[in-house]
Amino acid sequence: MLSEIKSIFSPDVLDFENYWPEDEESFSFLITVLVGPRETAIKESFNIVICTPKWLLSKYDESDMILGKNKLIVFKFDMDRILARIRRLFDNCSGTNWNDIAMKLSRIGQWEFEDFRE
């Protein structure tokens, strides 16, 4: 069985197609990837935060520690490259069943059926 991206959008960005951050060196926004088994209508959401190291430094204290889970850390804003990377990560993931695939994808983005607290 293979995964298939059904759609990609951002609940944080109204005009996702034309988005450009105010500060190209310090930004963060959420992307939701709807994924399901290939050639089915089934879809489940996986959320991933796109952010820069500078944004992380502004959000967290030096004494904080964070896991990179559910984050795609970029050094430069390039929506085409970001979306291409997300497609490579979420499309065509294989497993014996959907749950196997979803568990693999949940290592990248927060699965809607996963309880994650940072």
Mean pLDDT (the chain) is 92
pLDDT of residue 93: 95
d(CA 71, CA 27): 12
pLDDT tops 60 at residue 65:
yes
pLDDT of residue 62: 85
Whether pTM exceeds 0.75: yes
Q: Is the dihedral of CA 9, 15, 17, 19 positive or negative?
A: negative
Q: What is the average per-residue pLDDT within 22-37? A: 96
pLDDT in tens, 44-61: 999 999 999 999 999 999
Q: State the distance between the two ends of the chain, measured CA to CA, in whole angstroms.
A: 31
Q: Where are the domains of the chain?
A: 3-111
pLDDT of residue 113: 83
d(CA 47, CA 50): 10
